[in-house]
Amino acid sequence: MASIHKAPGKPFFFCAFSTWEAESNRWKRRFKSTGTASKKEADEICRTWDKAAKAARTGRLTPDNAREIIARGVADVFTAANREHLPSRSVRDWSAAWLESKRLESAETTASRYEGIIARFMEHLGRKADRDVASLTAADVGSFRDSLARDLSRNSANLAVKTLRVCLGSAFKQGLVTSNAASKVDKLKARGENQRRPFTLKEIARVLTAAEGSEWHGLTLLGLYLGARLSDCAKLTWRSVNLETETISFVAKKTGGRLAIPMAKPLVDFFTTLSAGDSPDAPIFPKLSKKSASKLSEGFRSVLADAGLAEPYSKRSTGKGRNSARELSALSFHSLRHSFVSILKATGANEAVAMALAGHETKAISQQYTHMDDATLRAAMNKMPDVTARGVTR
């Protein structure tokens, strides 16, 4: 039976409790200072030590049980000292609240991706999902990362870790955890997987040839000279295009940031060949604008296949199910965005200009972007090569 005592002349209460000694096969009485002069706090601390000692005796003091005993003990001490409860949320409740905030501030596709990752994490945790979020460990996140790497891909696993870092980072700001368990988990090296890479100019010319006569021809030019993502390019309307100032303005769906990009000459030439019609809200690409993100990706993959730059999608069943890792191509529409940034840098644009034109939102870029005028950005765009010129080998 544990009890607290205070020796004459000593400021703190000490706890008298027993621990089981495996070697001597008997209980041993211990006396340990609680480090507090508060009787209520000392009593809660002593009871926590006694509970842990009894769990150890029965063989039930696992690392998880120890953390839970400590967490409850700390909460009881906090309540005794402050007459209020220590803020706490279960992993499941906190994740649900975090997801709700992300639905309000993120693009639909981004929020949907977060939901999928959190749902898998809850399934992986099982009963642990209903424990206090403060009980999460790096081992919990690490085992989840490894399970995703086996079932899906290393890129998917790394994205999940990144998402959990943000989720638990918010919990840290709210005082629900004392450290971010996900921040202690390293990303997996992507060795052995196909990595995205930029297109070469010759490859872009081959894509344009394969897409000749279709809306994909213009969409490819936009991807290269605008550096925008596939959905943003496909959904552009004529309201975004100003041929007088030779500028394209739009709101990036992923970040919500408004961009105004000076047009390179090949893009200006392309738009002058098109008929804008009567409505400024009419899509530039009527057919492609109606397609979902997945259908757009498949469509561009078909163009790459026609250009001899990728294998066409196979609809033959692999027997691995929908959740298994799928083969990635080194080239995709997003590779045009990489090409856009790479070419800008190769032609002399500095990091800040390239990232600002691509719409990358980081603190460092934002600070420098505020000092850039239109002339600086336009000068960089004017150095972009013309992939439609005859001199580019196809």
Residue 320, in any domain of the structure: no
Taking Cα atoms as reference points, which of 369, 55, 336 lies closest to residue 223? 336
* Digit-coded pLDDT (tens) for 257-281: 788 899 999 999 999 998 877 899 9
The residues, any chain, with a CB within 8 Å of residue 116's CB and separated by 6 or more, are none
The more confidently predicted of residues 76 and 279 is 279
* Digit-coded pLDDT (tens) for 330-349: 789 999 988 998 898 888 88
What CATH number does residue 147 fall under?
A: 1.10.150.130
Q: Which of 61, 82, 103 is the last residue of a domain?
A: 82
Tell me the pLDDT band of 123, cut-offs 50, 70 and 90. Answer: very high
Residue 296, in any domain of the structure: yes
Q: What is the pLDDT of residue 211?
A: 95
Same domain? For 52 and 100 the reply is no
Residue 160, in any domain of the structure: yes
Taking Cα atoms as reference points, which of 291, 289, 284, 288 lies closest to residue 263? 284
The more confidently predicted of residues 153 and 117 is 117
pLDDT at 174 over 50: yes
Least reliable range by pLDDT among 19-28, 56-65, 178-187, 376-385: 56-65
pLDDT at 77 over 60: no
Q: Which of 123, 151, 184 is the last residue of a domain?
A: 184
Same domain? For 123 and 248 the reply is no
What CATH number does residue 374 fall under?
A: 1.10.443.10
**Torsion sign, CA atoms 191, 197, 203, 208:** positive
Average pLDDT over every residue of 116-136: 91
pLDDT at 2 over 70: yes
Same domain? For 95 and 78 the reply is no
Q: What is the domain range of residue 112?
A: 91-184
Q: Taking a C-beta distance cutoff of 8 angstroms, is the pair 327, 194 a contact?
A: yes
Q: Write down the mean pLDDT value for the chain.
A: 81
The C-alpha atoms of residue 323 and residue 152 are separated, in whole angstroms, by 7
Same domain? For 155 and 35 the reply is no
- For residue 49 the two structure tokens come to 């030590």
Per the structure, the count of domains in the chain is 3
User: What phi and psi, each to the nearest 5 degrees, are found at residue 390?
Assistant: -65, -25
Q: What is the pLDDT of residue 84?
A: 47
pLDDT at 1 over 70: yes
Same domain? For 171 and 239 the reply is no
Same domain? For 10 and 97 the reply is no
Residue 394, in any domain of the structure: no
Same domain? For 167 and 72 the reply is no
pLDDT at 50 over 50: yes
pLDDT at 394 over 80: no
The more confidently predicted of residues 377 and 92 is 92
- Rounded to two decimals, the pTM is 0.55
Same domain? For 106 and 76 the reply is no
The more confidently predicted of residues 190 and 85 is 190
pLDDT at 86 over 90: no
* Digit-coded pLDDT (tens) for 212-242: 999 999 999 999 999 899 999 999 999 999 9
Residues found in the chain: 394
Same domain? For 208 and 333 the reply is yes
* Digit-coded pLDDT (tens) for 300-316: 999 999 999 988 766 55
Same domain? For 161 and 272 the reply is no
